[in-house]
Each structure stands twice: as C-alpha cells, then as structure tokens.
Structure 1
C-alpha cells in the first residue's frame, strides 16, 4: 500500500468510526462495521460491511427505512474527505455474527476475505 493510500484508508476509518458509533446507539442488533478497498480501483472498489448480531435483526433492519438512512450517513461522512460513491447500494454490504460463526467458525478475517 502506498503512503497516500494508507493516509486515505486512515481518513476512511475515522469517518466510518463516526457512522459506527451512531449506528450502535440507533440500530437494534448493529454490532460493528469495516471497510476494504483496492486503491488502484478506488473509489469503485470501496466496500463497507455492516455487521449485525443475528439474521433476524439484520432482516428487520433491511426492511426498515434505517437501511437507507445508514447508507446516506456513510455517504455524508465520506463526502468531506473527497469520496463520492456512485452506487452506495452496491458498495455497502451486510453480514451477521450468526453467519460468521456458522460458516467460518467465527473467523472474520477469513469470512471477509472469502467475500
């Protein structure tokens, strides 16, 4: 990773920390989020993954307006650092602790890598 990529990655992490802290307070079942990117194809390669505790909580969230609100908040936090996401619905993914435990024995690094 180039020095400029590392700096951008850190800015993204800080912006998404604000999103995460807000979601923890407002969204039932939300646990944490992470991001990944291939900086040679940035920003189209940026992927934000939001993690919920159970599939039941995730499905309730996806059926609510909170889904669009969270996506909008992600866009709003990234915009001041110069990141404009054209297809937010494709670049925000959702997963659960329940599924990670079931399919990857709780190994998030492996689960996120398998994509």
Structure 2
C-alpha cells in the first residue's frame, strides 16, 4: 500500500484528494470488509487537521483505490484517473 495526493493549488484545500492505493481489488475488498478503510481515512483526516488542513471525508477527498483498477481502467495513468478530482 502507498499513499498519494492530487491537488489544484489554486483551490487548496478544497481540491485536495488523498488516495490510499492497494495492489489489487481483492486486497481493497478485504480492507473494506473489516472497515480498515474507514479507520485509515479517519487517521488521514486527523493528521491533516493537526496541520490545519481541513478535509472532508464525505466530499470524497480521502479515497481508497487499487493499482489493478487504475491499470484496468486508465492504463496505469494516475493523473488521468484523478484529473477531474484535482481540477474541481
């Protein structure tokens, strides 16, 4: 697992999207099954809040995704996969 982000700095922090990336869809499914994804999102939100960076989980600013899905849907191009999120 690794974590990355996408942002349009002209609209920070509203455009900030934090993505926890798992290897496979199955791994993510297992993580969601024990609600570890929710705990991970809450931890990211807590750490950003400590830095005075407000972020909204309900606005999908913190997400989980997989390398498998990006490869399948966007030929491994993460910028393309999250382009809309960072611009809006």
TM bin, normalised by shorter chain, reads 0.7 to 0.9
Matched, 1:54 2:24: yes
TM-score (norm 1): 0.61
TM-score (norm 2): 0.75
SS at match of 2:83: helix
SS at match of 2:29: helix
| Between structures 1 and 2, the one with greater helix share | 1
CA distance in 1, matches of 2:14, 2:84: 19
Preserved CA contact (<8 Å) 2:37 2:64: no
For structure 2, the 5+ residue unaligned runs are none
Among candidates 57, 79, 88, match of residue 88 of structure 1: 57
The root-mean-square deviation of aligned C-alpha atoms, in Å, is 2.0
Computing the radius of gyration over CA atoms, which structure comes out larger, 1 or 2?
A: 1
Name the counterpart of 1:3: none
Within-5 A mapping of 1:1-115:
31-85=1-55, 87-89=56-58, 90-113=60-83
Shift of 1:57: 1.1
Higher relative contact order (CA 8 A, sep 6+): 2
CA distance in 2, matches of 1:104, 1:92: 20
For structure 1, the 5+ residue unaligned runs are 1-30
Shift of 1:71: 1.1
CA distance in 2, matches of 1:65, 1:93: 13
